[in-house]
Amino acid sequence: MGLHPLEFSECYLDSPSFREKIKAHEAELDKTNRFIKELYKDGKNLINATKQLGMAQRKFAQCLGEFQFEYIGDAKTDDERCIDESLQEFSSFLKNLEEQRELMMKNITETLMKPLEKFRKEQLGTVRAERKRYEKETEKYYSSLEKLLNMSAKKKEPQLQEADIQVEAMRQQFQGESLDYVCKLQEIQERKKFECVEPMLAFFQTVFTFYHQGYELAKDFDHYKTELQINIQNTRSRFEGARSEVFELMKRIREAPQEYRQTSPISCEGYLYVQEKRPPPFGSSWVKRYCTFVKEQKILHMVTFDHRSGGKIGETESITLKSCLRKTTDMLDRRFCLDLDITDRPGTVLTVQALSEDDHKFWMQAMGGKEPIGQYLGRTFSKDRGIDAQLDDVGLNFVKNSISAIETRGINDQGLYRVVGVSSKVQKLLSLMIDEKSNEVDLSASEDWDVKTITSALKLYLRSLPEPLMTYGLYKEFISPAKGGSPESRIQAVHCLVHKLPERNRQVLGLLMKHLANVVAHSKQNLMTVANLGVVFGPTLMRPQEETVAAIMDLKFQNIVVEILIEHHGKIFADAPESCPLSPAAPVFSAPTRQSKKLGRQNRPLAVYNPQALDIQNVSAVADCSSLTTEETSMGSNESVSSQSSSASASETPIEKTDHPPLSSSLSSGSNSRSPTGPEPAPRASGESQPAATTAASEKEKPEETVTSRKAKAVYPCEAEHDSELSFQVGAIFNAVTQSREPGWLEGELEGKRGLIPENYVEML
């Protein structure tokens, strides 16, 4: 496992583990800084000490061979692996040159020394300055926070308000500095891979240019150099795409941090000041602790952590909560306080203090606290509906129509699919084409819509589907082979997974891949190689439900999967594979968990959707479409490996911020009240509020062995989260059970009420 990704949401929690992750990143950059310094020193020795050339070469080669890049995430791409191994390759080349003792060390100052030193001073030096600002803001914020919390509640309201405003400003400044610092750390970690290796590559080319007797060796090196240039170019392109996604995620978290506060199954976590009572006459003291509250078990874990003492973590103390009550200021001269009644200490009441009024309400709601006055109403969040794109006959016709028009009118256009259309025109075209009443336009013959508008509308349609074309359920399975294995095993794995897709998804994906292969066949004219199209369509065709930095780091593997689909579309989509590698998920599709702002589920099995479990036909799920961002800019890099540099800019406002859209938010409204003993139900469409009735057409297609009149028995208890769902206990009998249009759900009657039932909560009778 490499370095842990630094999630922006953790900047708002500022947990001890988050600080440890930051330390690991800082240590890695310090190591890189020391490596570059040493490499620079050794390079100077090579220039100034020609007589000691052999010794200097061996030292330099050793330095290269011993260093390895750390990576973020759990796997590396082939390009990153080649970049990581390049240092060892360079070391080997140097040893061969040392045997000949005629290496010419000239002109390396401009090609190696200056770029490395520039990177060290401008990039690594910037990180050092950011670290100092971050540490300074940490000290300022927590000092001002303690001062605020120690203020008497009896002070005049204007004084309290002024103090609150000052601390809030410092908090925002601290969190903003934290976001910037975390972003910079990860950017440098990714940037160094090509910023360090490219100057070395140029250095070796210079060495061979001036090496009179090394012509044959330089000739052998040329092939490796070309391959490495492609590796670097691919890594750079993926870096640019991932960086734009990270900035977008950081921007959204900065605008609404509360929506991204929860990123784990833990119910609630953050800092609390705990009152520790001492024997008279010492009174009591308030100690800052990082608290983690597990809602289902009602256990509060507390660990002492002081940011100003070098980040030393104390021992963890755990208590079981019985009840929680807000403590008023007339009982204690401090604001934001709670009284916790502890089960494992009968008669003991623990007083804690939150950091602010919002934080106080947050803890109250998480712990089920009682308000002496009024009642706190939790916020609800809803997602606006975007373009109503569906994977139906209308959508299929639009895909065919668009492909026909693109191949007829613009297959040779430079930057095809990278040059984007005007936002208003693209949305207008897509709305027109998915409208059943007005979708008869032949785009091949119509001159009203230019090619870039059609390509952008096609990508927008694919991104606006309720679920990605390659599905949420198979996302991890598609990503897995891209992270390792031989080329043959990758192709075989992708081949098998494609034939696990629903029929309509596979049909549309096959049409698209055949078309993209045709685009690649004209790459000399349109400059769109397989790698370029992988960058464009990777995040469009597949993405995870949860939006995190770790997920963004997987963008590079999405691109690899799309490249495999394009290059081997004939084999993959022709016939189903004769045999597939065995995997635990082979018999069924793993349904993704329903995301909720109250993440209280722990250690329970995920729901699975097995179309063969009941003798019925699959019915398409109904889901809300993702909303479209109205103002987007084109991707920062239009470079093609084949052309080295080919940029295309749109003269009008583009529709896309990058060629791979932002990942959809993993948060949904409502609280989690699902029973802790049952499995996780399949996800439901966010806008669905009524039971989804089976259509008449679908009823006609069902075989005679329908489940219309069958009964089912509950094997797990369940509490409804929506009016359209049923609440029930173990042993409840459901009548008139039918399959819902939502995968993983059934419809049935219980005590005269009809509603939705999680399929994996019941067994058929």
Helix residue ranges, H only, 309-450: 357-366, 393-409, 423-433
Q: How confident is the model at residue 567 (pLDDT cuts 50, 70, 90)?
A: very high
Find, among 486, 470, 389, the residue nearest to 429 by Cα: 389
Domain spanning 712-764, CATH class: mainly beta
CATH of segment(s) 9-131+189-249:
1.20.1270.60
Neighbour tally for 642: CB within 10 Å: 14
pLDDT, average across residues 702-708: 39
What is residue 588's predicted lDDT score, i.e. its pLDDT?
Answer: 32
Alpha carbon 357 to its chain's center: 31
pLDDT at 579 > cutoff 50: yes
What mean pLDDT comes out for the span 92-120? Answer: 77
Flag whether pLDDT at 386 surpasses 60.
no
Q: Is the pLDDT of residue 192 over 80?
A: yes
Q: What is the pLDDT of residue 259?
A: 65
Residue 501: predicted pLDDT: 92
The mean pLDDT of the chain is 75
The SS3 call for residue 303 is strand
- Evaluate whether 640 touches 527 at the Cβ level (below 8 Å): yes
Nearest to 290 by CA among 264, 308, 310, 317: 317
Chain position carrying tokens 């990714």: 190
> Which pLDDT score, from 0 to 100, does residue 283 have?
67
The most confident of the ranges 324-338, 538-552, 561-575, 707-721 is: 561-575
Q: What is the CA radius of gyration of the chain?
A: 30
Q: How many alpha carbons lie under 13 Å from residue 87 in its C-beta half-sphere?
A: 19
638-659: average pLDDT: 37
- pLDDT digits over 387-438, tens only? 778 888 888 899 999 999 999 999 999 999 988 888 888 988 888 888 766 6
Rounded to whole angstroms, what are the CA distances from 87 to 69, 228, 512, 517? Answer: 9, 11, 39, 35
pLDDT for 482 beyond 90: no
Q: Which residues have CB under 8 Å from 59's CB, separation 6+?
A: 42, 45
Where do you find CATH 1.10.555.10 in the chain? Answer: 393-573
Percent of the chain residues topping a pLDDT of 90: 12
Poorest-pLDDT segment among 81-85, 196-200, 372-376? 372-376
CB–CB of 319/302 below 8 Å? yes
DSSP 130-158: HHHHHHHHHHHHHHHHHHHHTS-TTS-HH
Q: What is the 8-class DSSP label of residue 422?
A: B
Strands (E) in 563-683, as ranges, are 589-590, 608-609
Task: Tell me what pLDDT residue 295 has.
Answer: 78
Residues 6+ apart with CB under 8 A from 405: 442, 443, 444, 446, 449, 451, 454
Q: Cα–chain-centroid distance for residue 205?
A: 38
Q: What is the pTM of this model?
A: 0.47
Q: CATH 2.30.30.40 spans which residues of the chain?
A: 712-764
Where does residue 417 fall: left (phi above 0), alpha (psi -120 to 50 degrees), or beta otherwise? left
Read off the pLDDT band of 677 (50, 70, 90).
very low
Separation in Å, CA 369 to CA 34, 296, 383: 52, 15, 29
Residue 106: alpha-carbon gap to chain centroid: 46
- Read off the pLDDT of residues 48-76 as tens digits, 9 standing for 90 and up: 776 777 777 788 888 888 888 777 777 77
- Alpha carbon distance 377, 370 (integer Å): 12
How far apart, in Å, are the Cα atoms of 692 and each of 417, 688, 720?
37, 8, 16
Fold of 267-367: PH-domain like (2.30.29)
Q: Which of 192-196, 383-387, 605-609 has the highest mean pLDDT?
A: 192-196
> pLDDT band at residue 262, thresholds of 50, 70 and 90?
low
What was the pLDDT predicted at 568? 93
In this prediction, residue 564 carries a pLDDT of 93
Whole-number pLDDT of residue 103: 57
Higher-pLDDT residue of 286, 588:
286
- Inter-axis angle of helices 530-541 and 451-464, to 10 degrees? 40
CATH code 2.30.29.30 region(s) in the chain: 267-367
Q: Is 312 a residue whose pLDDT tops 80?
A: no
- Per CATH, the homologous superfamily of domain 393-573 is Rho GTPase activation protein (1.10.555.10)
